[in-house]
Structure 1
Amino acid sequence: MSKIETGANTIDGFKVLDCVHSGAMARIYRVEYDQQLSHGKPDPGFPMVMKIPRMRHEDGAENLISFEIEQQILPSLSGPYVPKFVAAGDLDQLPYLVMEYVVGSTLEELMEGGLQDDPGNIATMGAAMAKAVHSLHQQNVCHLDLKPANVLFRKVGDQTRLDQAVVFDFGLSCHAHYPDLMAEEMRKAVGSPAWISPEQIVGVRGDPRSDVFSIGVMLYQLCTGRLPFGAPSTQGGLRQRLWMDPIPPRRRNPQTPEWMQEIILKCLEPVADRRYPSAAHLAFDLSNPDQIPITERGQQTHTTPFWTHFKRWLHAAGMHYQPSPLPQQQIQAAPIVMVAIPAHGADDATLYSLREGVQRSLGIRPGARLAVVTVVGSSLIGNTHAGKTEANFHRQHLSQLRQWAAPLSLGPNQISFHVLESNDIARALLTYATGNHVSLIVMGAATRGLQMQKLVATIPIKVAMYAPCSVMLVKQQLPFEHLADYEPPKPNLDDTDMDVFKYW
């Protein structure tokens, strides 16, 4: 399609305004409803753009194929991490896509304006990208073309929000429930060479860990100003990432924290099984850098030895990746499980029962990560009893959480500990679960103040009512041999309401 004249064209009731982007595969125009020709369609409540593919004689077939893929996938997506779909044109008559015009800055523009050299900002941006990508994976879509030009950070007022990422351009994406047109039509690796994952190079599409790899490339760029594998233009150059490690970020930029290098190099593992099992796990680490165990990977500044690369090359020569299961199934196999431990008043029976509930949950989810959480009242922290500082108060509670978890015998990469401050325990737990894409909440069922529960919702009930995921309420129990010696606490009706709100 030749370039249309802006301001003078109306397409299917949309008045075409100025061109906001002209790329190799499509042009994007701002549009609005033409009041005379739109047949009374209501204002969607947000600005709109129209994407029109280039279809000149010299353009390849992949332009139309990728446009057809995006036209197929975008209407199926929802949530704040993608542009809202409005309308689409007939591919045989006039192909176009109308969608929300998200105001903001792309990661590419932010890089051109100067690197975000603050590790905190980089972590915030990375976590936002990972959460956006995880939302796609939950909808059985793998993006497969993540790069700085395809990630945008929303502008709110005059400020670009680094914690609000939007991904777009789904022309190379794969939806598990739709035919993979790109795989059917193109017999070579498709993707942007600098960001493409190793498995895509050998023809495997649909693995959500491919998107984790691409986020790792962008984090590497933000920390070093360089691409980890350059921008290869040949198949041989692309295949090198099947066995080669990049130069450690700390060697190129000594200011890169060890925890950041640990995250980046885990994302860039050549074999997908050694990366983060889901984008939610990546977002979790980026949001909780103090919980990341530093290994040799995070500390190294030397390059990988030649013989290590040579052995990997021999292995990669005959490498055949297996097709991945549905993205949703794959991320469900590696959930984030959260257990809420009462900060005060929990007896041995409660703590034992919570531990048993967690063990049962992790037993059927071997790839799960456990977040051990407690909520301490802000007013209580502010009151430094016996000369305790706020830091000491936190350390005390973290120590108690670690003691509780010790019998679980989980590795450092499988468990983390968090002390939250809030006077509204239920809200704090719900906010944490939502922000960290928790798949299951394990917490104790309220056993005190049973009479009052008929009138007032307890914390577990509140959490169960509004949780973004499944909730397991665990009742108190002790090992069989201790039952004879155990006397359950007797409810004190005089302080029932205090028990309900303080101790669940």
Structure 2
Amino acid sequence: MVKTLVEPGAVIDGFTVGERVHSGGMATLWSVTWPDSDTPMLMKVPRISEGEDPAAIVGFEMEQMILPRLSGPHVPACFGAGDFARQPYVVIERIPGKTLYERLSELPISYEEARAIVGKIATALADLHTQNVIHHDIKPSSIMFRPTGEAVLIDFGLSHHNQLPDLLQEEFRLPYGTAPYMAPERLLGVRDDPRSDLFSLGVLLYFFTTGERPFGETETLRGMRRRLWRDPHPPRRLRADYPPWLQEIVLRCLEIEPVWRYPTASHLAFDLGHPGQVKLTARAERLVRDPLSTVWRRRFNRGLTHPKPKADLAAQLASCPILTVAIDTTEGSEQLNEALRVTAERILATLPSARLACLNVLKLGRVTIDRTLDEEGNNKHIDRMVALKHWASPLKLDEDRLTVHVLEAIDPASAILEFAEANHVDHIVIGARQSSLVRTLLGSVSAKVAAEAPCSVTVVRPPRQAPLQELEGTSKEPGEAMF
């Protein structure tokens, strides 16, 4: 089909076409309306006339398959699609505002603003990856923000769905994408690794905080292939005041081998949300690129060149959860805390890439004035952080897998639930003390967390007569009762 049916005033499958909003290289966008609906909508129509890029048509087919399967605040809602036999289109929610591309004239932006922006994008990617989709075109023009603050990912023509045919992979040999943001493994035909999106996000973070792209502006395939063996200049070479924690995050995202990057977008979002707890390595202090000896070794002895089986996206994400253990550091909690440690150790033993966040809530009074120092003049907050690290030390975790957090709140249960929601926690382990009249009347912290948590919860009770090694935690999925 050459002639399009889309023009102002046309009615296509019940959608009334309005003005043309945007004309791009692969598609045009039109405002549309639906009877009795006030929802702002856009109709996206591919360019299909003579001489257009065939990849644009295939990419549009992918978008038609993927968009109706997505949901949540981080993607535009999809309201309909048209077949190529008559008029191809997709109708999507019209997100108010402009893309992140509009910010390019302001670069570099402040480190704090960049951290907040990229943290929201990492959260959006985490949600997308759990829906079996890898975006493969993360760049400023593919990102918008809702008035409520959530990042929204758009343009899914280059995306890979783990449960759908990958038409781009099947029909074309050359990698398609935006060259400055493309991950190295993409050049070798790897399209099923979600860490490719984290590389692209690392490029964006580098660009927004330095004003320069880590691999320049080259668009040639030969120039792009250099990133298979050549690392970028460390940001601290470009800006002397670059924070070590931020360089640690950026260079970890830009690792050539995917295995050295963050395992999931949730882990990246966690570090961006807690910069003071980012574990610094040699990456944080680097001022120069890798030596030529390392570059040549990568170039002529690369592990990425070996054929790899198709990855199971769901299994990969499930092997890298964020585990939170809520720990009571007050006197008399030793038995329960030991039981919590045994349970956490058992869970971590089966998940070698899991991340552990140790959590304690410093309860505030509702009407009293709370003091930061105890009766002996010690800072309560610091004391509890030290206690959490002491609790975790027998687990012998690598530093980049462990963080400790002391929250201050009137309602401990609500504080734990908010922490889990904000940090995309996959599993909470919490202790339940023996029954008492007060807990019976008012309800316990563990009961509220188990009932309202957005993730799996394991409630651990202190041992009665049985020895510790016989203690069993009780697992619960969201929605089940737990007492």
SS of 1:122's partner is helix
Match of 1:169 in 2: 155
Match of 1:487 in 2: none
Rounded Cα–Cα distance in structure 1 between residues aligned with 2:65 and 2:197: 20
Deviation at 1:296, TM superposition (A): 1.5
Contact 2:180 2:219 in 1 (8 A): no
Match of 1:413 in 2: 400
SS of 1:94's partner is coil
Rounded Cα–Cα distance in structure 2 between residues aligned with 1:327 and 1:237: 30
The answer on 1:74 being equivalent to 2:67 is yes
Query: Which amino acid letter does the alignment assign opposite residue 120 of structure 1?
Result: E
Q: Output one character per residue of 1:339-368: Cα deviation in whole Å (capped at 9) or x when no partner.
A: 001253552101111111110110111110
Contact 1:105 1:154 in 2 (8 A): no
Q: Structure 2 matches for 1:314-353, cutoff 5 A?
A: 314-316=300-302, 319-353=305-339
Match of 2:379 in 1: 392
Query: Which amino acid letter does the alignment assign opposite residue 178 of structure 1?
Result: L
The answer on 1:364 being equivalent to 2:356 is no
Query: Which amino acid letter does the alignment assign opposite residue 195 of structure 1?
Result: Y
TM-score (norm 2): 0.91
Q: Output one character per residue of 1:130-171: Cα deviation in whole Å (capped at 9) or x when no partner.
A: 110111110111111111110112235xxxx4xx21101100
Rounded Cα–Cα distance in structure 2 between residues aligned with 1:53 and 1:338: 46
Unmatched runs of 5 consecutive residues or more in structure 1:
36-41, 484-503
State which of 217, 222, 225 in structure 1 corresponds to 2:203.
217
Q: Output one character per residue of 1:433-465: Cα deviation in whole Å (capped at 9) or x when no partner.
A: 11111111011023231x555554321111111
Contact 2:322 2:425 in 1 (8 A): yes
Q: Structure 2 matches for 1:63-462, cutoff 5 A?
A: 63-112=56-105, 114-115=106-107, 117-156=109-148, 161=149, 164-316=150-302, 319-379=305-365, 382-385=370-373, 392-449=379-436, 451=437, 455-462=441-448
SS of 2:306's partner is coil
Rounded Cα–Cα distance in structure 1 between residues aligned with 2:356 and 2:467: 28
The answer on 1:49 being equivalent to 2:50 is no
Rounded Cα–Cα distance in structure 2 between residues aligned with 1:396 and 1:370: 20
Query: Which amino acid letter does the alignment assign opposite residue 133 of structure 1?
Result: L
Identity among equivalent positions (%) equals 39
Deviation at 1:18, TM superposition (A): 2.3
Contact 1:194 1:227 in 2 (8 A): yes
Query: Which amino acid letter does the alignment assign opposite residue 247 of structure 1?
Result: H
Query: Which amino acid letter does the alignment assign opposite residue 16 of structure 1?
Result: V
Match of 2:54 in 1: 61
Rounded Cα–Cα distance in structure 1 between residues aligned with 2:201 and 2:72: 20
Match of 2:476 in 1: none
Rounded Cα–Cα distance in structure 1 between residues aligned with 2:63 and 2:285: 41
Deviation at 1:244, TM superposition (A): 0.8
Query: Which amino acid letter does the alignment assign opposite residue 122 of structure 1?
Result: A
From the superposition, tell whether residues 318 and 147 of structure 1 become closer, same or farther in structure 2 (CA, over 3 Å). closer
From the superposition, tell whether residues 28 and 378 of structure 1 become closer, same or farther in structure 2 (CA, over 3 Å). farther
Contact 2:257 2:304 in 1 (8 A): no
Match of 1:22 in 2: 23
Contact 2:4 2:87 in 1 (8 A): no
Number of aligned positions between the proteins: 467
Deviation at 1:188, TM superposition (A): 1.5
Rounded Cα–Cα distance in structure 1 between residues aligned with 2:303 and 2:374: 65
TM-score (norm 1): 0.88
SS of 1:104's partner is coil
SS of 2:399's partner is coil
Rounded Cα–Cα distance in structure 1 between residues aligned with 2:261 and 2:112: 22
Rounded Cα–Cα distance in structure 1 between residues aligned with 2:241 and 2:7: 48
What do you get for the CA RMSD once the two structures are aligned? 2.3
Rounded Cα–Cα distance in structure 1 between residues aligned with 2:319 and 2:304: 28
Query: Which amino acid letter does the alignment assign opposite residue 371 of structure 2?
Result: N
Deviation at 1:118, TM superposition (A): 1.6
Rounded Cα–Cα distance in structure 1 between residues aligned with 2:281 and 2:465: 38
Query: Which amino acid letter does the alignment assign opposite residue 65 of structure 2?
Result: Q
SS of 2:361's partner is strand
Deviation at 1:234, TM superposition (A): 2.6
Rounded Cα–Cα distance in structure 2 between residues aligned with 1:51 and 1:466: 40
Match of 2:14 in 1: 13
From the superposition, tell whether residues 321 and 482 of structure 1 become closer, same or farther in structure 2 (CA, over 3 Å). closer
